[in-house]
């Protein structure tokens, strides 16, 4: 199991925020910036996957309660 799989959503978001802060400072060497970017993309995918999993769990919970209303998440634009 990879390190990212063991991170919670909150831990992954915290690491992602740290990476963004480092990149926004602007004084990161190019090679390190690329490495931070790649790690950020992996963390972003991890967070996205965890949110999708929770969304599916929420849909299941709604069905178990007998609610027939469709469940949807409105994403921010």
Contacts of 7 (CB under 8 A, 6+ apart): 15, 43, 46
Query: pLDDT at position 26, please?
Result: 85
DSSP string over 4-19? HHHS-HHHHHHHHHHH
The answer to whether residues 28 and 70 touch, using CB atoms and an 8 Å cutoff, is no
Name the more confident of 16 and 56: 16
pLDDT above 80 for 11: yes
pTM over 0.85: no
């Amino acid at each position: 199991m990879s390190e990212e799989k063991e991170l919670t959503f909150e831990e992954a978001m915290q690491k992602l925020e740290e990476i963004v802060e480092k990149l926004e400072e602007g004084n990161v060497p190019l090679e390190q910036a690329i490495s931070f970017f790649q790690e950020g993309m992996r963390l972003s995918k991890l967070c996205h996957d965890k949110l999708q999993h929770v969304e599916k769990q929420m849909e299941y919970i709604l069905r178990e309660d007998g609610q027939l209303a469709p469940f949807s998440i409105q994403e921010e634009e």
